[in-house]
């Protein structure tokens, strides 16, 4: 069997090609399109994913360098509501760098500053916030990032922030991410198969690596220890310490893990979806 990959940047065009029989597998189907795909006779397969959707916070920003401002952001954000709205109820909120699809996960990784707009307003007062603009960068290239930014803006506004959207093209937003030029960004990290790899992406010295989101010597030490042992129990304990520290510092707002949802033609046999969100066709065949 020959496998051919087709690049179709437009989501609607890709769906049309699948429904017309020009495609056999459509990876990363939008959760909101699941019922439509089923009604067209497609098989829809899903599983918990490993791609982390998050809100980046620039901790070197004059406003967001204040820990009380970041705590207020956390209390103002209902991550479960955002997850439900964005994934059509398929995913739940997950603030941790340890995904629910990971063997290391348990409910302790869901502990996070609770959604409480009243507490958020009180923290803003304690931080001396006077209504300065808080800009949320996003783009229209990735629908999820844009929708998450709109939902976040509404929640922050309700809690007393002067939250403003800054809609850029994706290339400009990515350049800003690489240079650390933002207050808040709606963002997403591709799948990592081990929690240490996800922590490794967000941890670092911001003076030498602008893409680092969490500049913490204590967290870096825990991360290094997690990479130095293969004992699952020790690693899980280290991840729990990392998450507890992250919930205290709030250097980033984790929202949810994007579920892996693929739509396939009913002629395709033996196909299964993968949490890392890449199509795998070993052992897959197509009936005539």
Q: What pLDDT is recorded for position 3?
A: 83
Question: What separation in angstroms does the CA of 8 have from each of 5, 34, 42, 165, 266?
Answer: 10, 19, 19, 29, 21
Buried b (16+ CB within 10 A) or exposed e, 64-85: bebebbbbbbbbbbbbbebbbe
Mean pLDDT by 10 residues, the chain (288 residues): 82 89 87 87 89 97 98 98 92 96 96 98 98 97 94 98 98 98 97 96 96 97 97 98 98 95 90 84 84
Residue 222 DSSP class: H
Q: What pLDDT is recorded for position 171?
A: 97
Residue 112 DSSP class: -
Q: In whole angstroms, what is the distance from residue 96 CA to residue 109 CA?
A: 6
CATH domain 49-259 topology: Dipeptide-binding Protein; domain 3 (3.10.105)
Q: In whole angstroms, what is the distance from residue 151 CA to residue 159 CA?
A: 13
Domain ranges of the chain: 11-48+260-286, 49-259
Question: What separation in angstroms does the CA of 61 have from each of 56, 166, 219, 238, 251?
Answer: 12, 16, 20, 29, 12
Q: What pLDDT is recorded for position 88?
A: 86
CB atoms within 10 A of CB 44: 18
Of 285, 249, 248, 245, the C-alpha closest to 264 is: 285
Q: What pLDDT is recorded for position 276?
A: 83
Query: In CATH, which of 1.10.580.10, 3.40.50.150, 3.30.70.270, 3.40.190.10 is domain 11-48+260-286?
Result: 3.40.190.10
Q: What pLDDT is recorded for position 153?
A: 99
């Amino acid at each position: 069997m020959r496998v051919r990959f087709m690049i179709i940047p437009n989501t609607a065009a890709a769906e049309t090609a699948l429904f017309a029989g020009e495609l056999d597998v459509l990876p990363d189907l939008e959760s909101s399109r699941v019922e439509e795909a089923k009604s067209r006779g497609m098989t829809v397969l899903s599983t918990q994913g490993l791609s982390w959707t998050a809100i980046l916070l620039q901790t070197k920003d004059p406003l967001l360098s204040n820990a009380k401002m970041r705590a207020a952001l956390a209390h103002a954000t209902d991550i479960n509501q955002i997850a439900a709205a964005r994934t059509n109820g398929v995913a739940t909120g997950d603030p941790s760098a340890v995904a629910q699809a990971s063997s290391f996960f348990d409910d302790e990784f869901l502990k996070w500053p609770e959604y409480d707009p009243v507490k958020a307003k009180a923290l803003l007062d304690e931080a001396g916030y006077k209504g300065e603009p808080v800009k949320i960068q996003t783009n229209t290239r990735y629908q999820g990032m844009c929708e998450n930014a709109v939902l976040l803006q509404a929640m922050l506004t309700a809690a007393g922030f002067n939250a403003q959207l800054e809609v850029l093209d994706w290339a400009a937003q990515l350049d800003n991410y690489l240079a650390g030029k933002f207050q808040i960004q709606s963002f997403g990290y591709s799948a990592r198969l081990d929690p240490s790899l996800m922590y490794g992406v967000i941890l670092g010295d911001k003076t030498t690596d602008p893409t680092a989101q969490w500049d913490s010597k204590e967290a870096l030490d825990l991360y290094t220890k997690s990479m130095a042992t293969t004992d699952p129990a020790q690693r899980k304990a280290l991840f729990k310490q990392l998450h507890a520290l992250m919930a205290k510092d709030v250097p980033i707002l984790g929202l949810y893990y994007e579920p892996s949802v693929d739509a396939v033609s009913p002629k395709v046999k033996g196909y299964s979806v993968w949490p890392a969100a890449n199509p795998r066709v070993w052992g897959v065949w197509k009936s005539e």
